[in-house]
């Protein structure tokens, strides 16, 4: 999508601190981290949120979880734990309308979230 920030990051038009990349996914550090480890995992193709996922996206969604686990292990978060979350819509505080998963770790987190 022309005007989408994360599409531009995926295309390399806007710089990011890249963590991992696959054929379909990109992982990069959040520019405003809220935990010692705060990585965003996005599909390279534009999907506005999980509400726009199609049957054909099943494999890609599974790959997001596998990539999150790989990054968590790389960063030493497997034992201490981490959170993988996708904000969807206004009540959840979604601010970028390109599907993304926050991988948060490196500190204790409360539940339920605020
Ligand atoms: P959400 O509020 O769930 O939509 O999350 C959007 C996230 O994108 C926020 O945590 C922002 O800090 C992050 N963000 C916004 N712009 C950039 C950018 N240029 N590079 C990396 N992360 C960004």
The mean of the pLDDT values for the chain is 97
Are the C-beta atoms of residues 72 and 103 closer than 8 Å to each other? Answer: yes
Q: What is the pLDDT of residue 4?
A: 98
Q: Which of 39, 40, 49 for a ligand 1 pocket mutation test, highest count of atoms within 8 Å of Cβ?
A: 40
pLDDT in tens, 14-29: 999 999 999 999 999 9
Quote the CA–CA distance of 32 and 55 in Å, as a whole number.
32
Quote the CA–CA distance of 93 and 76 in Å, as a whole number.
28
Distance, CA 88 to ligand 1 centroid (Å)? 13
> With a 6 A CB cut-off, is 86 part of the ligand 1 pocket?
no
Domain edges within the chain: 5-105
Q: Sorting pLDDT into bands at 50, 70 and 90, what band is 99?
A: very high
> With a 6 A CB cut-off, is 87 part of the ligand 1 pocket?
yes
Q: Which CATH number applies to 5-105?
A: 3.30.428.10
Are the C-beta atoms of residues 47 and 57 closer than 8 Å to each other? Answer: yes
pLDDT in tens, 20-63: 999 999 999 999 999 999 999 999 999 999 999 999 999 999 99
> With a 6 A CB cut-off, is 20 part of the ligand 1 pocket?
no
Question: What's the token pair of residue 28?
Answer: 């990069």
């Amino acid at each position: 999508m022309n005007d989408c920030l994360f599409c531009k990051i995926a295309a390399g038009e806007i710089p990011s601190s890249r963590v991992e990349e696959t054929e379909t996914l990109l992982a990069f550090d959040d520019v405003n981290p809220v935990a010692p480890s705060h990585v965003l995992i996005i599909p390279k193709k534009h999907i506005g949120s999980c509400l726009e996922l199609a049957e054909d996206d099943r494999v890609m969604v599974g790959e997001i979880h596998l990539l999150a686990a790989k990054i968590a292990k790389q960063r030493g978060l497997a034992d201490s734990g981490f959170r993988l979350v996708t904000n969807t819509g206004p009540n959840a505080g979604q601010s970028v309308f390109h599907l993304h998963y926050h991988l948060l770790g490196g500190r204790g987190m409360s539940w339920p979230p605020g």
